Amino acid sequence: MKKHIPNFITSLNLLCGCIALFFAFSNELITASVFVFLGIFFDFFDGFFARLLHVQSKVGMELDSLADVVTSGVVPGVVMMQLLSESLFGVPYSIDIFKSADWQSGIVVFLPFIGLFIAVAAAYRLAKFNVDTRQTDQFIGMPTPAVSIWTLSIPLILVYQNSVFLENLFLNTYFLIGFTLVVSVLMNMELPLFALKFKNWSWSDNKIRYSFLLLSVLGMVLLKFIAIPLILILYIVLSVISRKTKRTSL
């Protein structure tokens, strides 16, 4: 019986992703974000319970990646598509916009689909992750849940952080396209990043993790949702510093 517990938790991640996808297509981006964050919560604990109960399996690993493709790949891709539609047309993407395409305006009408590059890049990253033996205690490339949180922070900031500057920035078409391309590359580039897995609780072995968590909590308290993209930039910077420090010590 216990061998099914991690897969059940993974299935809850997938269910949350499917529900989030419905709300993302309906342009209810905040509700979609809530279900994605809930799915990522389940994504963290499925592996935790698999290790705790000693019931790790290849089926569980494959199911985990399939769930992540939806929750942390397709959903943020659709959210980005809606943001691009908002920046271009001032309204969510709909079949009416699609049908309005002609030979002159067709390229503009198809531009929001660029946001779906995130879904494709996430699927490719997860496929590589399943066969990459180097990613046991670190990540190679930005994890898909991190990219998902990064993407979904945009509608959260637009709704809850009242700033004309941020609204103009995050609803700028060139910024959104650039963001999409950057995170798609980050997921699949040879960029070593530390994992938030504690093998013990000592400061010397986990100082980079403790520092990151402390700064993340402090940032969220002081800056609220604006802290999310800054935290993920900090994650990359600290990973680079940590790698250089290890090379120097060798």
Q: Is the pLDDT score of 6 beyond 90?
A: no
Q: Is the pLDDT score of 250 beyond 60?
A: no
207 alpha carbon, distance to own chain's centre:
24
16-25, 43-52, 69-78, 185-194: segment of lowest average pLDDT: 43-52
Q: Which residue has the tokens 């769930």?
A: 67
Please check whether residue 168 is in contact with residue 154, taking contact to mean a CB–CB distance below 8 angstroms.
Answer: no
Distance separating alpha carbons of residues 118 and 238, to the nearest angstrom: 24
CATH H-level superfamily of 2-94+116-195: CDP-alcohol phosphotransferase transmembrane (TM) domain (1.20.120.1760)
Domains in the chain: boundaries: 2-94+116-195
- Does pTM surpass 0.75? yes
Q: Is the pLDDT score of 97 beyond 60?
A: yes
Please check whether residue 80 is in contact with residue 151, taking contact to mean a CB–CB distance below 8 angstroms.
Answer: yes
Degrees, nearest 5: CA angle 22-115-106: 105
